[in-house]
Amino acid sequence: MQPSYSFSRKEKLHLQHDFKRVFKTGRKLAHPAIFIYIGRRPDELETRRLGLVTSRKLGSAVERNRLKRRLREIFRLSKHDLSPAIDVIFVPRPGVCGLNYEALRSAVLGLFAKAGALIK
């Protein structure tokens, strides 16, 4: 059976206490362009969830939205390679908007590998 590559509402972090839990108990990984927080969920559901935190220091609204679309796409395409029952939060650093898609993708996948979150 083909895995689903959609990005549904249940795969997004919405609640503030979920963000706080990942920030407090999750593992923080750094790259010059982005921070990634990865935390295990206590409910052990199979879904992997994504949260995005951006600030106005990153650039204009157009640049921030383009960056968020790229990060969601990277997560959407690689979510089946991640361990189940984890929450991931991307916190981009200033200057990340200058990276192209492939450089951003390799940075994120490198951090996932460094965290041991990849199953393949």
pLDDT at 117 exceeding the cut of 90: no
Instruction: pLDDT band for 120, please (50, 70, 90 cuts).
Output: low
Instruction: Please check whether residue 109 lies inside any domain of the structure.
Output: yes
Instruction: Please check whether residue 39 lies inside any domain of the structure.
Output: yes
Instruction: Please check whether residue 9 lies inside any domain of the structure.
Output: no
Q: Which pLDDT does position 53 carry in this prediction?
A: 95
Q: Which pLDDT does position 93 carry in this prediction?
A: 93
Instruction: Please check whether residue 12 lies inside any domain of the structure.
Output: no
Say which CATH number the domain at 65 has.
3.30.230.10
Q: Which pLDDT does position 43 carry in this prediction?
A: 79
Taking CA atoms, 63 is separated from 33, 59, 96, 114, in Å, by 14, 6, 10, 27
User: How many domains does one find in the chain?
Assistant: 1
pLDDT at 74 exceeding the cut of 80: yes
pLDDT for 8-50, tens place per residue? 889 999 999 999 999 999 999 999 999 999 998 887 778 899 9
Instruction: Please check whether residue 78 lies inside any domain of the structure.
Output: yes
Q: Which pLDDT does position 1 carry in this prediction?
A: 60
pLDDT for 80-93, tens place per residue? 898 888 999 999 99
Give the structural domain span for 56. Answer: 28-115
Instruction: Please check whether residue 76 lies inside any domain of the structure.
Output: yes
Tokens 């969601």 locate to 72
Q: Which pLDDT does position 2 carry in this prediction?
A: 67
Instruction: Please check whether residue 73 lies inside any domain of the structure.
Output: yes
Is the CB of residue 38 less than 8 Å from the CB of residue 53?
no
Is the CB of residue 12 less than 8 Å from the CB of residue 51?
yes
pTM over 0.85: yes
Instruction: Please check whether residue 16 lies inside any domain of the structure.
Output: no
